[in-house]
Amino acid sequence: MELPEVEIVCRQMRKVMVGKEITSAWSHNSKRFLPAKKSVGGVISEIDRHGKYILVKTNVKMLTKINEPYELICHLGMSGSLSLRKVTPADLNISPLALAKKYIRARWFFSDEIMELRDVRRFGWVFWVKAGDYSQIPTLRDAGPDALKPDFTPKALYEGITKSRQNIKTQLLGQKCVAGLGNIYVDEALWESGISPLRTQISQAKANLLHNAIVESLKTGLRHGGTTLRDYRTFTGTKGTHQDHLRCYGRGGEPCLKCQKPLTQIKLGGRGTTYCKNCQK
């Protein structure tokens, strides 16, 4: 899941989750999901996001202090989704084995509702931390500016890129230059801006183009409700349609929409990468 998909989930959660209290919780027996159990007692005050991380801000009533702020942090990995529905009697007696068969990795109960994290590939993460303390989440702690927030500027992008000698695609995926991009939107933004994913450095002028392409690619993905290649579902269970509007990602061998020459498919940093050798220099 990349920024547009996570942003859509956050927007939908914001409408219905604020004010709810977590009365009990269950998790898959994996260190990736176990922190879900610690969140019992949290009253949700706000839903925020940084990059691909969903930040569920809560207040927890303590014996000695009132309203200690904690955050329930969810990362959906490559195949995760969150959903909310009414609790049924069957929900209270279901076995861990039955949950595993449905790929449910964590569950949070509210007064009469249940939120479930479904994650087929188990690449997602759940954290429970004191508000703002991201020391145990290096990718979030070290993340650059969120791609759709005001502090992500062409200058910040250029300065981030000049700090490393890695190829630009790997840098953009690393979340340090800018937070929220994944394989799809990196390929799309590099194609839009005419920059080869193999490059290690770019000029400020190219950084300006790339900045604009990143923001526009993400906003277009948002308008289409996100990209559903296989597993992605919104918080309300619908699919995105952006997969029908991709201009570069996943089109290896097909003609480039700018020059008509076939798009090249390579492996870069272990990830499938599509680009145009003719247009992207």
For DNA, the binding residues (CB under 7 A) are 1-2, 5, 51-52, 75, 77-79, 103, 120-123, 125, 137-139, 164-167, 170, 173, 175, 182-184, 227-232, 249-250, 269-272
The distance of closest approach from Cβ of residue 5 to DNA in the complex, given in angstroms and rounded to an integer, is 6
Which run of H or E residues covers position 266? strand 264-268
| CB closer to DNA, 170 vs 280 | 170
| CA dist., res. 168 & res. 132, Å (int) | 29
Question: Least distance (Å) from DNA to the CB of residue 240?
Answer: 8
CB of 236 to DNA, least distance (A): 16
CB of 2 to DNA, least distance (A): 5
Integer angstrom CA distances of residue 261 from 44, 244, 276, 279: 52, 21, 8, 9
Q: What contacts 24+ positions apart, CB below 8 Å, involve 37-45? A: 38/128, 39/70, 39/72, 39/108, 39/128, 42/70, 42/72, 43/19, 44/17, 44/18, 44/19, 44/20, 45/18, 45/19, 45/69
Tell me the closest approach of the beta carbon of residue 182 to DNA, in angstroms.
Answer: 2
Nearest to 231 by CA among 109, 72, 123, 98: 123
Tokens (6 digits) for 143? 């993340």
Nearer to DNA, 38 or 242 (CB): 242
Nearer to DNA, 228 or 280 (CB): 228
Measured from the CB atom, the residue of 2 and 71 that comes closer to DNA is: 2
CB closer to DNA, 122 vs 277: 122
Q: Which is nearer to DNA, 89 or 270 (CB)?
A: 270
Give the angle 158-180-222 at the CA atoms, nearest 5°.
Answer: 115
CA distances from 239 to 49, 91, 231, 244 (A): 20, 25, 9, 12
Smallest gap from Cβ 243 to DNA, in A, equals: 8
